[in-house]
Chain A
């Protein structure tokens, strides 16, 4: 009989019998996805609250993407829980001395804020589409069209007022909600950092800097994901437009707004500097104070995880994109490459924190290695293996496609 974690934990030297890599790849994905949620939201707020007009083309898209990611983020927890069917106990019998117990409140508050912000910012479109479908109701229409009309009519919640004054109120509400949303988004993710940073038993996690480190890398990854996906969607549209274009049209330009990408890249670099500074500060602090566990932590950082941390996380994931973004005249291709690398880098950061933090034993005399299950042989190795990871990393893109059928991601004014 195997207990949870035994399937992918390789023990070395002296390790207590109960120690396993209990938090595996899904717990790597959880802070990664909530980080993307917070980052995408902050990006959209840069336009909605701080009025950066250059970001207007991606503001609505990043808001929707934030919502989509928010739907997927708790899935990682359900995949990880040994009793997912009891997961809702967290909402009904929360034990508030636990950092995880706040999850229900933070999650629902944030969902409400993002959902209502989306509603206010799309209200004109929703009402127009609802009216259109109501007019077309008498005509023969296919089922999908009718269903869509029904969705729009439900979404109006009976409010069809799109007078000048009402629209002004909408805009004001969007701004207020985006303003409230920033601290809540930061809280949503900062508290994910708090879950790790407050574990006294783990010397690598235990630091009050953890929530702030998480927030900064969250914003970095969120902006990078929006650049990545924005470019990707525009390329797909270009290919599609070229395929369907009538032969007499000679050239079709891509609609990608380079100015928006350059602005996003600027913010990305700004937040990258803060993120790296904080992460390195944390490491320097650990090594300088060199408390008792530092002996084993240093072997984890500088030996066992050296390639992960300095090669992938800082080298490939921070330094290379940093240089790529700072070279003048940023092109679309270069922005795409840089944002991809940043996404990998932040993923590796989560990996190194979650897996790295569990890779040394409480005995300080042994190690545990995590072997990601690739080919699943039971439900557990599927959920917490490569396929579960790919499933949850891919589903935001699938969901975004579904949402884009209802909300246009890049509406033309």
Chain B
């Protein structure tokens, strides 16, 4: 019999209680320098432990971001370790996602012939956690070497048959779709095998909304910036239809313009939650509204679910949104963006 994970659920809710509030974002966006923002985070937020030994007066923006990223992952690990959740496969959902993220990043930089840049952006805290050697991944100078590094991982079989072009360029979009599809399938199968009842429904609901949002955002971008047609989108989007359903999704892909795409979206369950979607919505604002939607769903799941997996999955999403908010604000401070701009790009929970 599995032990109750109520203590973890309580702990997760307590962690969520310490999230950054509207006033914190207001204070952060009022700062004039990156060092001031770092000092605020150190003094007033749950990131204080992660920044405790740091001299914020000379901190580099990139270093601050890497520390915050590490704090995010440490939080996840801490919660998993608390009641030995990490022994159950589903709880590796974040590590697996990060492994895929690093793999895709490495492919991208390899294609651009800038592997030295990859090592700089690589999250060093994953060095000892990832299922493959990240340093060797960074050193790989072609696709063959890259495949060698991941030979003993499940990702090898996923992308081993992908062919590079004559210049050795790896088809990045194809890799991305295949790896993400693998990840989503793994997530769904693992959830189905480990959970049942309300918990499974809540988890699947979140996963489906997540795939829908990824597809909607990517399809819209493809349409807006590359004028992609329906066939291209059908081939390059994740093969999941979530809440949207196959017909609605194809209807979106069939739109002849980004404006029509948004008009079609208004008729979906997602569009109905977004006001003035078709009239005056910028693409960033539209994406932000979708994230808000997912946030409110995660928040609801976090509040009402008694299941540790549902709570942790929701929390990590909410904390990721928070982390992105901070990174966006810090970047905006660095590039002297206005306070109103900062307010327009963040999602307050």
Q: Do A and B bind each other?
A: no
Report A's interface with B, CB cutoff 8 A. Answer: none
Report B's interface with A, CB cutoff 8 A. Answer: none
